[in-house]
């Protein structure tokens, strides 16, 4: 791979000669070239087959076929990219295939500015690889390389060249944050800082959000203003309008890869991508007198360490709106379904955003915080009042937030309630559930949660412990011990360890058999343990003829240092991984009052509320 920079943009050269040693490798003869015609036409330099000293020119016997359909139409994408394909005829095992092409790359939105990356894949077949970056006079960019590239780079006045013979397999540093996984990369950029990018894009969105005097968008804004009194409610209504009435389609045609379509055009055709929806939302908020600005973000989840990269628009792939209402900043994403409201934090966990302002702005960190409400709550109510040997009535409610909750919204909202009940009955009836009597699902916009409730009858695994004693493990009552945090020899042992963010809560209530006196019941011990940056919590309570248990786990530190990891490795052996057993002993003594803690049952409070008692009081948000 070689990239050459000139006044028109980039010329990206790709060439290779590879020996086909297996029949599976014959697929390499299906050649494809993709390009944006606005940047110019690609050039195919050679397609040759080398066989037993003979050189066969495949271009003489074959021609490229241009596919004129949008290859991403199924993914709601209109990008204007063309693809040409050629199938090399009579390709055989043992042949060597030689191919070389140059593809022009330029975006009219960026003008003469350019930026990008050169990377070497982590695992490559044996061979010699050459890659580089070159430029004409006056086009030299800023360059940054990872230390593995610096070790082999040859730098001249007009370029950088890198050669590799049989490059070793590159492995990720185990459990290290993403910013430490940045290996085998050469960055280049014309931008002096992030402010320059912010200043460049801000006028594009300002222009796209301007409305003509007779725009129907003004009428929509007036309707919203008449229906809602507060700025916050008006912002939510404007967001919902864009989410609900304008479907998402990526538009990269006619220079639209980075330039937003106008609000007027987006509303007129009732479809748009993140850029067009953002422009429309900005126009509505402006009409409503609400201060707002576009902000760039990265949807891949790999934005950790962007502050250490050279400034480049390519490090962002999404744009949304940030509105200021009083002392509060709200993020509004018009590409999300209309069940997702504006919030003080973006729906996706961005690490960095870039505000687009006429004065210019630098990237801003969005500080990570432990979740203030569970991403999943499982409420399990078991009515065993009819006795140990009778089937119990079971109610299981699952409250799911975040991306998983949104996935359920997409999945469950598309099928009829009877279909959902039939599918879950087929899936669940068996060892525990005997029958499913009712299934109900809804998405609660206020709680920002998918709520699935399953009711039916099932068997409780009451174990006979002799002399009339019984016991059973409560659903969701225990934890597996956490894994040790260690790295292979040869990897940097001093780097921090990354944690996956998460917060789950299991709440179980068992209504006890009427014939089994409450004073003869006991249960496993609770715990409140912090290890590897995570809080593990369990508490039991008893009263009103029922045993209640809450068990939760929340990430409290997104990273832990190496010393903490070593210390906590030694603590794993003492981790309480006991299951959440409850015990009945007709000959047992009364439970000490100190163990009868006030634990709410599944039916005592609204578990969709923001502040639910899933954590110890000293750590609850």
**124-129-133 Cα angle (round to 5):** 120
Residue percentage of the chain with pLDDT more than 90:
88
- Residue 288, pLDDT score: 98
Give mean pLDDT, residues 523-528.
Answer: 93
Q: Checking DSSP bridges between strand 9-19 and strand 96-105, what pairing results, if any?
A: antiparallel
Residue percentage of the chain with pLDDT more than 70:
95
- Residue 258, pLDDT score: 86
In the sheet with 433-444, reading across from the earlier edge strand, the strands are 433-444, 449-458, 392-400, 376-383, 503-511, 546-555, 534-543, 527-531
- Residue 78, pLDDT score: 61
Provide the mean pLDDT of the chain.
Answer: 93
Q: How confident is the model at residue 257 (pLDDT cuts 50, 70, 90)?
A: confident
437 has a pLDDT exceeding 50: yes
Residue 310 CB neighbour total at 10 angstroms: 20
Give mean pLDDT, residues 74-95.
Answer: 81
Give the Cα separation of 186 and 148 in Å (integer).
Answer: 10
- Residue 256, pLDDT score: 46
Say if residues 314 and 115 touch (Cβ distance below 8 Å).
yes
- Residue 456, pLDDT score: 96
- Residue 71, pLDDT score: 45
| Alpha carbons within 13 A on the beta-carbon side of 258 | 18
Q: How confident is the model at residue 592 (pLDDT cuts 50, 70, 90)?
A: low
- Residue 69, pLDDT score: 52
Q: How confident is the model at residue 596 (pLDDT cuts 50, 70, 90)?
A: low
Q: Give tens-digit pLDDT for 413-423.
A: 999 999 999 99
Walk me through the domains of the chain, giving residue ranges and CATH numbers: 2-189 (2.60.40.3140), 194-365 (3.10.620.30), 376-391+459-479+497-595 (2.60.120)
Residue from 304, 257, 261 nearest 281 by CA: 261
- Residue 618, pLDDT score: 73
480 has a pLDDT exceeding 70: yes
Q: Is 301 exposed, middle or buried (0-12, 13-18, 19+ CB in 10 A)?
A: exposed
Give mean pLDDT, residues 246-250.
Answer: 87
Give the relative orientation of helices 216-227 and 231-245 as an angle to the nearest 10 degrees: 130
Q: Strand ranges (DSSP E) for 58-127?
A: 65-67, 77-78, 82-87, 96-105, 115-119
- Residue 597, pLDDT score: 67
- Residue 67, pLDDT score: 79
Give the Cα separation of 352 and 366 in Å (integer).
Answer: 6
Report which secondary-structure segment, H or E, holds 195: helix 194-208
237 has a pLDDT exceeding 80: yes
Which of 37-41, 505-509, 617-621 has the lowest average pLDDT?
617-621
Give the Cα separation of 299 and 282 in Å (integer).
Answer: 20
Give mean pLDDT, residues 204-230.
Answer: 97
505 has a pLDDT exceeding 60: yes
Q: Checking DSSP bridges between strand 503-511 and strand 546-555, what pairing results, if any?
A: antiparallel
Give mean pLDDT, residues 321-327.
Answer: 97
> What Cα–Cα distance (Å) separates residue 6 from each residue in 9, 104, 105, 141, 453?
6, 11, 11, 11, 61
Report which secondary-structure segment, H or E, holds 279: helix 274-287
Q: Give tens-digit pLDDT for 69-81.
A: 544 444 455 667 8
Give the Cα separation of 15 and 104 in Å (integer).
Answer: 15
| DSSP β-bridge partners for residue 287 | none
Residue 443 CB neighbour total at 10 angstroms: 19
């Amino acid at each position: 791979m070689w990239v050459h920079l000139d006044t028109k943009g980039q010329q990206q050269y790709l060439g290779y000669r590879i020996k086909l040693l297996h029949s599976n490798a014959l697929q390499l003869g299906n050649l494809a070239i993709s390009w944006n015609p606005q940047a110019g036409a690609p050039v195919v330099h050679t397609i040759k087959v080398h066989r037993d000293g003979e050189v066969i020119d495949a271009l003489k016997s074959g021609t490229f076929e241009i596919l004129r359909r949008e290859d991403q139409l199924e993914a709601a994408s209109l990008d204007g990219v063309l693809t040409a394909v050629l199938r090399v005829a009579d390709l055989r095992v043992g042949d060597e295939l030689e191919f070389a092409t140059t593809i022009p790359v330029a975006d009219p939105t960026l003008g003469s500015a350019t930026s990008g990356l050169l990377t070497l894949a982590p695992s490559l077949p044996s061979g010699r690889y050459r890659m580089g970056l070159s430029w004409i006079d006056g086009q030299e960019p800023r360059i940054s390389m990872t230390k593995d590239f610096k070790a082999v780079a040859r730098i001249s006045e007009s370029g950088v060249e890198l050669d590799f013979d049989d490059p070793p397999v590159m492995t990720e540093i185990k459990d290290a944050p993403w910013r430490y996984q940045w290996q085998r990369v050469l960055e280049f950029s014309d931008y002096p800082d992030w402010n320059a990018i912010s200043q460049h894009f801000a006028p594009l969105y300002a222009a796209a959000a301007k409305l003509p005097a007779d725009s129907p968008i003004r009428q929509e804004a007036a309707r919203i203003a008449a229906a809602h009194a507060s700025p916050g409610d008006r912002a939510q209504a404007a967001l919902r309008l864009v989410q609900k009435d304008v479907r998402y389609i990526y538009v990269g045609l006619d220079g639209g890869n980075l330039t937003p379509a106008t609000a007027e055009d987006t509303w007129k055709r009732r479809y748009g991508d993140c850029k067009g929806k953002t422009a429309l939302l900005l126009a509505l908020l402006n009409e409503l007198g609400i201060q707002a600005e576009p902000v760039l973000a990265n949807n891949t989840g790999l934005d950790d360490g962007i502050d250490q990269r050279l400034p480049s628009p390519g490090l962002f792939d999404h744009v949304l709106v940030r509105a200021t209402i009083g002392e509060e900043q709200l993020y509004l994403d018009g590409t999300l379904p209309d069940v997702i409201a504006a919030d003080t934090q973006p729906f996706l966990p961005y690490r960095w955003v870039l505000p687009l302002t006429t004065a210019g702005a630098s990237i801003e960190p969005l500080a990570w915080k432990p979740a203030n409400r569970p991403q999943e709550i499982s409420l399990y109510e078991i009515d065993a009042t009819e006795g140990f040997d009778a089937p119990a009535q079971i109610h299981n409610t699952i409250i799911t937030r975040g991306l998983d909750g949104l996935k359920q919204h997409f999945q469950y909202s598309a099928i009829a309630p009877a279909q959902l009940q039939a599918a879950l009955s087929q899936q669940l009836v068996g060892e525990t559930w005997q029958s499913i009597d009712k299934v109900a699902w809804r998405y609660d916009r206020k709680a920002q949660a998918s709520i699935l409730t399953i009711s039916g009858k099932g068997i409780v695994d009451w174990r006979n412990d002799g002399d009339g004693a019984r016991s059973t493990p409560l659903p969701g009552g225990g934890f597996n011990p956490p894994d040790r945090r260690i790295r292979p020899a040869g990897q940097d042992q001093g780097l921090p360890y990354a944690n996956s963010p998460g917060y789950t809560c299991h709440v179980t209530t068992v209504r006890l058999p009427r014939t089994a006196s409450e004073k003869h019941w006991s249960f496993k011990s609770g715990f409140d343990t912090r290890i590897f940056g995570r809080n593990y919590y369990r508490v039991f309570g008893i009263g009103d003829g029922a045993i209640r248990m809450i068990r939760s786990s929340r990430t409290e530190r997104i990273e832990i240092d190496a010393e903490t990891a070593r210390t906590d490795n030694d603590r794993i052996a003492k981790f309480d991984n006991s299951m959440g057993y409850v015990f009945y002993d007709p000959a047992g003594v009364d439970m000490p009052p100190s163990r009868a803690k006030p634990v709410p049952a599944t039916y005592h409070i609204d578990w969709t509320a923001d502040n639910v008692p899933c954590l110890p009081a000293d750590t609850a948000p």
